[in-house]
Amino acid sequence: MPALRPLVAALTALTALAAPAAAQAPDFTGTWTGASAEGVQAALRLEQQPGGQVTGGYRRGDAAEVPLEGAVRLDGVLQADLLAADGKRHRFEARLVDGAAVVTFVVPGQPPREVRLQRQAPAPPNPLGQPRNPLGASPPNPLAAPPRPAWAGAWSDDQLRLVVEPAAAGFEGSLTVQGATYPVKGKADGPRLQGAFSVQGHDFAFTAALEGDALTLVSEGTTYRLRREQPRNPLGAPPPPGPGAPPPPGAGEGLTGVYDGPAQPLRHQGGFSLEVPQGWRVQEEQEGVLLLAVDASPTPGAMVLIAHGEIEADDRHKSPVQHIAEFGPSLLENFAISQGRPLAAPRAVALKGPGAEGAWAGTLPNGVAAVVWTGAVFTPTRFVAVALLVQQGREQEFLPRAKRLLASARIGD
């Protein structure tokens, strides 16, 4: 259990507030057809990515198909633009109702126009398609020792170290980041690996591909280019520390990208103070937790939570980075975020006391891509933490202000 227990407990209430956005995941992929009120046939072709981005095309009557692009919002509504040949963009929204896609077109100066479309069943496979050759290459000798894959071994850069070895079901190994080591397992397809590393029971997916003398590892949005580690002479001189050596525990640079605009001071009876960016306010308060109202739109794109409290005695020996590294997966779990992955490895930051920050990305239950950022400042016995849940692509609207909360937090003032 992470040391920031008051914040973890309060996430139950926050998850309930997020329930409308975390409804059953809508899937718009497919071809949708129907007719407008005037009897004109319409067809909508959509392809939805795991992160909620949508591409495709729209055809009306005998006109040529018009390409489109958009994304599924936190409330499960598809918001997209038709990309006309003249460069203009025509907005429409679609929502799933009783198995149908209800599409609403918004044309300036005209009332909204609604079309109800039905998803078409995919075509069955062609039974006369090209069969596989039953007389293909002979199977390998089952008694021969399998060759060692080229990807096997230890790979590293100045941020992480990956060790992979062949196993019965594919490969196994370990991943070391920020001094912490996590188990790795997965499957191999020639020079390509597809696997996951486990952090406190949570699996974070990655892929890796051997390209020349490098192994390119991608954990969704982040890419690492790793080099094979060469064996060293155990009797030789120890290598000098590299420029990428991690800082000692408790050290770190300050936060970057902090909002510097108008803010109101908040002195809390819980024994801490901070500065709340203009336009934000405390919406709800529970024991040890403040929920902020940060987005006045009908479909909020972000939520911000501030927590404060005592660090349990058994956890006071941990560094700020360890606290944040343990707390991040708890945030993902409480927000029901799947396909979670580290977006920015937890790092120490110099605040008004020892601190740390980290970020993760994943997919909400409704298919919308989201980012979770969290940071905290500590004394030997207490903490103040800030957590931000934001729709991917809207980070710059909210993250700098969330960082202002953390950068200005003082404990005991």
pLDDT band at 298 (very low <50, low <70, confident <90, very high): low
Q: Report if residue 115 sits inside a domain.
A: yes
What distance in Å separates the CA atoms of residue 341 and residue 203, rounded to the nearest whole number? Answer: 8
Q: Report if residue 147 sits inside a domain.
A: no
pLDDT band at 51 (very low <50, low <70, confident <90, very high): low
The region of weakest confidence among 33-47, 129-143, 180-194, 226-240 is 129-143
Give the pLDDT confidence score for residue 246 in this predicted structure. 44
Comparing 140 with 365, the larger pLDDT belongs to: 365
* Structure confidence by residue, pLDDT tens digits, 160-194: 899 999 988 789 999 888 778 889 999 988 888 99
Give the pLDDT confidence score for residue 344 in this predicted structure. 82
Q: Are 184 and 320 part of one and the same domain?
A: no
The answer, yes or no, to whether residue 333 has pLDDT greater than 60, is yes
* Structure confidence by residue, pLDDT tens digits, 371-386: 999 999 999 999 999 9
pLDDT band at 18 (very low <50, low <70, confident <90, very high): very low
- How many residues belong to the chain? 413
| Chain Cα centroid distance, residue 323 | 20
Q: Report if residue 243 sits inside a domain.
A: no
Number of domains in the chain: 3
Give the pLDDT confidence score for residue 142 in this predicted structure. 63
Give the pLDDT confidence score for residue 243 in this predicted structure. 46
Q: Are 259 and 406 part of one and the same domain?
A: yes
Comparing 123 with 409, the larger pLDDT belongs to: 409
Q: Report if residue 343 sits inside a domain.
A: yes
Within 8 A by CB and 6+ apart from 303, the residues are: 14, 17, 18, 291, 292, 294, 388, 389, 390
Q: Are 190 and 318 part of one and the same domain?
A: no
For range 247-267, the mean pLDDT: 76
Comparing 12 with 124, the larger pLDDT belongs to: 124
Q: What is the pTM of this model?
A: 0.50
Q: Give the count of beta carbons closer than 10 Å to the beta carbon of residue 110.
A: 8
pLDDT band at 149 (very low <50, low <70, confident <90, very high): confident
Give the pLDDT confidence score for residue 19 in this predicted structure. 42
What distance in Å separates the CA atoms of residue 326 and residue 328, rounded to the nearest whole number? Answer: 6
Give the pLDDT confidence score for residue 135 in this predicted structure. 57
Q: Are 178 and 217 part of one and the same domain?
A: yes
Give the pLDDT confidence score for residue 160 in this predicted structure. 85
Q: Are 77 and 164 part of one and the same domain?
A: no
Which CATH number fits the domain that encloses residue 312?
Answer: 3.40.1000.10
The region of weakest confidence among 25-29, 65-69, 129-133, 175-179 is 129-133
Q: Residue 271 belongs to what domain range?
A: 5-22+253-411
Within 8 A by CB and 6+ apart from 402, the residues are: 304, 373, 386, 388
Which CATH number fits the domain that encloses residue 70?
Answer: 2.40.128.30
Q: Report if residue 129 sits inside a domain.
A: no
Q: With beta carbons less than 8 A apart as the criterion, state whether 343 and 329 touch.
A: no
Strand pairing partners for 152?
none
* Structure confidence by residue, pLDDT tens digits, 1-10: 355 555 555 5
The answer, yes or no, to whether residue 129 has pLDDT greater than 50, is yes
The answer, yes or no, to whether residue 409 has pLDDT greater than 70, is yes
Q: Are 168 and 260 part of one and the same domain?
A: no
Q: Report if residue 140 sits inside a domain.
A: no
Q: Are 218 and 336 part of one and the same domain?
A: no
The region of weakest confidence among 75-79, 204-208, 346-350 is 75-79
Q: Are 171 and 36 part of one and the same domain?
A: no
Q: Give the count of beta carbons closer than 10 Å to the beta carbon of residue 199.
A: 20
Q: Report if residue 143 sits inside a domain.
A: no
What tokens does 239 get? 């290598």
Mean pLDDT of the chain, nearest integer = 81
Q: Report if residue 306 sits inside a domain.
A: yes
The answer, yes or no, to whether residue 201 has pLDDT greater than 90, is no
Sign of CA dihedral 166, 206, 196, 160: positive
The region of weakest confidence among 14-18, 308-312, 395-399, 404-408 is 14-18
Q: Are 305 and 209 part of one and the same domain?
A: no
